[in-house]
A and B are shown apart, each in its own frame.
Chain A
Amino acid sequence: EAQVTQNPRYLITVTGKKLTVTCSQNMNHEYMSWYRQDPGLGLRQIYYSMNVEVTDKGDVPEGYKVSRKEKRNFPLILESPSPNQTSLYFCASGLAGYTDTQYFGPGTRLTVL
């Protein structure tokens, strides 16, 4: 089944404790992206990757890191999480063209205490 998977789905952590949210897709997509969704602000792009070893900042990259060492995986790293990073996070993937559909993962709800 074609899908984008994210792990964990729910995470409660404390300020400053490094964490990684994994994202994996099985559709051989070049494009992968991370978003956060907050009430009243909607979805905002954190980072995206057009292909292996190519990453670019989105709207809100501060406090986040990403890497794209393999085509199927695009982990999101929070080196020192803070409470303002409490949010619902989505990973998505798609073909590289600007007119291609994105496929979203199920979301990861992160709470930073």
Chain B
Amino acid sequence: KNEVEQSPQNLTAQEGEFITINCSYSVGISALHWLQQHPGGGIVSLFMLSSGKKKHGRLIATINIQEKHSSLHITASHPRDSAVYICAVRFGQFYFGTGTSLTVIP
């Protein structure tokens, strides 16, 4: 049973393209997190969402609590955005999606 589903699993884009990564979850949650993992392994937290929308630079994250769905958008993608993006929800413990591997080609 997988409480968190992400799509797509892999994504290749040309520099400058608009990118969307989707996350659906099956449990009631208090918050949803988007994480970024670069080659070499380090994980950083990009967003924590409990409702609505957040924006940091070229990254935008939205959540629809009723539909149990979140999206991460990257505008004007750049090769340095190449990483694995992971969705996580907290319902007591944390549950994670398996990640979306993004490659942005110059």
Contacts and interface: CB of A to CB of B under 8 A. Distances in A.
Q: Do A and B bind each other?
A: yes
Contacts of B31: 98-99
Given A99-B50, A102-B45, A45 B86 contact: no
Given A101-B45, A103-B45, A106-B41, A42 B97 contact: yes
Interface of B, helix, strand, loop or mixed by DSSP = strand
Contacts of A98: 30-31, 90
Given A98-B30, A98-B31, A102-B33, A107 B94 contact: no
Given A43-B86, A57-B93, A92-B43, 13 more contacts: A33-B94, A41-B98, A43-B94, A43-B96, A48-B93, A48-B94, A88-B41, A99-B30, A99-B31, A102-B33, A103-B45, A106-B41, A107-B42
Interface in B46-85: 48, 50
B90 A44 contact: no
Contacts of B48: 99-101
Contacts of B93: 45, 48, 56-59
B95 to A, nearest CB: 7
A44 B42 CA distance: 16
Contacts of A45: 93-96
A42 B48 CA distance: 19
Given A56-B93, A98-B30, A99-B50, A107 B88 contact: no
Given A98-B90, A99-B30, A99-B50, A44 B96 contact: yes
